[in-house]
Amino acid sequence: MIQAMTGAYATFEHRIGVISTMAALEAHDGQPALEGVGIIGKTVDLFSRFLFNFKTEVFGLLSKFKRSELRAYHESNPMKVRDVFSRVEKMNLSEFMVPVPDGMRGTYAQAVSILNQLLAESQIENTVSVLRNAVDLFARVNYTNPDAADVADLGRYTTALQCLSREDVQKRLGVVFTENRFTEARANSAFGNPRDVIAVDTILLKSEKIFRTAMRTAGDAGQLEGKYSTIIDRVSRGKNMDVGFLRLFETFLRQAALQLDLYGVIVHEMLRVEHNFTLALQRIYERP
């Protein structure tokens, strides 16, 4: 699974760096209106790219997912796992190194806790549901003279997409991930105390549900890609369109793009943590 991690979510610069892209777009707020898609062209491009990336990268990471890497290690090496759990509390963790995701400076327990909190707050299934429901609105609306009900619906959909903020995700990921390229750490730095090995293992085994949700929502996003392409094409060909509604449309697309991309970043980080934790278990087993 880890070999697939070479796309849009593979570098630290992207994982934290979606932020600068979104910030640059926000600088365009309040600029003069143009005809059709000209008013929101940069946001349309961003949304289309992020929807495509979400579909291809997340689904690519998990396309062959049947069980998590850690689950597979447990099932293939039950004696090794029991040996690790029986000996780890007697080990001096300061005496050896274990693999960690590149850039991780906190403990595995801290990383898993932060990522689980962010995943819960992302409400990705709600985001995809909003995108699906909004298709009907964008198909029926009169872009030249939208009625009040359609404007209200678009405002409601946009509000529902404000789950994660780029600043908050950047700040919280920055607690445990940095730009350094260290791929190993002292075991006592990676775990804090021996009991954390077992605690993190228990939590990560439950991550299978997270990965299955990601795979399902990526598939749902793929089904929406063509519908939004049609909507954007219609807007791009429009004339004398209502500027206020186009601005709302732009905000909706920007929020949707941000939620999809941040969720992809968080899922990728969880995959990296799980992969390296599995390697760490093997390293602990190899200790005399």
Q: Does the structure show a pLDDT above 70 at 13?
A: no
Q: What is the pLDDT of residue 35?
A: 47
Q: Considering the chain, what is the average pLDDT of its residues?
A: 83
Q: What is the pLDDT of residue 115?
A: 96
Place of tokens 């995700």: 169
71-91 confidence digits (pLDDT tens): 999 999 999 999 999 999 999
124-157 confidence digits (pLDDT tens): 999 999 999 999 999 999 999 999 999 999 999 9
**If pLDDT is split at 50, 70 and 90, which confidence band does 1 have?**
very low
Burial of 87 (0-12, 13-18, 19+ CB in 10 A): middle
**If pLDDT is split at 50, 70 and 90, which confidence band does 223 have?**
confident
Please give the average per-residue pLDDT across 161-186, as a whole number: 90
Q: Is residue 5 part of a domain?
A: no
Range of the domain at 162: 10-285
Q: Is residue 92 part of a domain?
A: yes
Q: Is residue 68 part of a domain?
A: yes
Q: What is the pLDDT of residue 38?
A: 58
CA distance 52 to 224: 10
Q: Is residue 48 part of a domain?
A: yes
Question: Tokens at residue 175, please?
Answer: 């607690």
24-73 confidence digits (pLDDT tens): 444 444 443 334 455 566 677 767 777 777 767 665 666 667 788 999 99
pTM of the model: 0.84
Count of domains forming the chain = 1
Of the ranges 81-95, 205-219, 236-250, the best mean pLDDT one: 81-95
Q: What is the pLDDT of residue 7?
A: 46
Q: What is the pLDDT of residue 238?
A: 77
In terms of pLDDT, which residue wins out, 219 or 128? 128
Q: What is the pLDDT of residue 215?
A: 81
Please give the average per-residue pLDDT across 184-211, as a whole number: 93
101-130 confidence digits (pLDDT tens): 998 989 999 999 999 999 999 999 999 999
Q: Is residue 1 part of a domain?
A: no
Q: Is residue 233 part of a domain?
A: yes
- Biggest CA–CA distance in the chain, Å, is 75
Q: What is the pLDDT of residue 189?
A: 95
Q: What is the pLDDT of residue 63?
A: 61
Q: Is residue 3 part of a domain?
A: no
Q: Is residue 2 part of a domain?
A: no
Question: Tokens at residue 112, please?
Answer: 């898993």
**If pLDDT is split at 50, 70 and 90, which confidence band does 16 have?**
very low
